[in-house]
Copies of this chain bind each other. A is one copy, B any other.
Amino acid sequence: MSAAFYQEQVKFYVAVDCIILGFNNNELNVLLYKRNFEPMKGEWSLMGGFVRSEEGLDEAATRVLTDCTGIDNIFMEQIGAYGEVTRDYGERVISAAYYALVNMNDFSQELLEQYNAKWTKVTEVPTLIFDHNKMLHDALSRLKRKAATRPIGFNLLPEKFTLPQLQCLYEAIYQTPLDKRNFRKKLNAMDILEKLDEKDKKNSKRGAFYYMFNKEKYDHLLEQGFYFSL
């Protein structure tokens, strides 16, 4: 065999699909959009796009994310490749799925309308095209596992957030209620948050203190064998 061996092989369309997750009103949301081309035009789907010849998979996902969110530097991770023969009803397409964690406040209504996009609670997601429901399910499983041992949840919150907010987030991710005092005790012990003087008074008269995730502190602790865990 020789390099000519490559030429005998079949080629495939390759796409990326992005599970864009946000957090709002104590619920995880996913960004869906109404497909504007055939097949399945008009159906709900994840954000996706074909991979181009000059870009790698990660770059393609980054491009799709930037295009449809207008945001740079989004947290994003591949969850796997989906390659069932009949997964796309149009043509044979192999797709790499990526989940992304964003701050929903960064989205303008115009941007969403421009793309026919809609935030949907993950508990109320309709039937999506192809295997997109499975992709979403896999993304949520991954998030559940990973958020427990890595400080990735903060990507779903604004830079400044309160502890009740953070707890709600983790309750949404784990789909289970958490004990307030135990939750706070853990965070306190890890010592990776910066407490601000400012308070958020949107949800109570008393107000809750704002905190920020201190990445420098976290990275420093990591080197000393520390492990994040929530």
Contact = CB atoms under 8 A, between A and B. Distances in A.
Interface of A: 1-3, 5-6, 9-14, 36-39, 50-58, 60, 78-85, 87, 90-94, 96
Closest 5 CB pairs of A and B: A57-B83, A1-B37, A11-B11, A81-B81, A9-B50
Contacts of A14: 11-12, 14, 83, 94
25 contacts: A1-B36, A3-B38, A5-B37, A6-B90, A9-B13, A10-B53, A11-B11, A12-B12, A12-B13, A12-B14, A14-B14, A14-B83, A14-B94, A51-B94, A56-B83, A56-B84, A56-B85, A56-B87, A57-B81, A57-B83, A81-B81, A81-B96, A83-B96, A94-B94, A94-B96
Q: Is the interface of A mostly helix, strand, loop or mixed?
A: loop
B84 A81 contact: no
A183 B128 CA distance: 45
B11 A55 contact: no
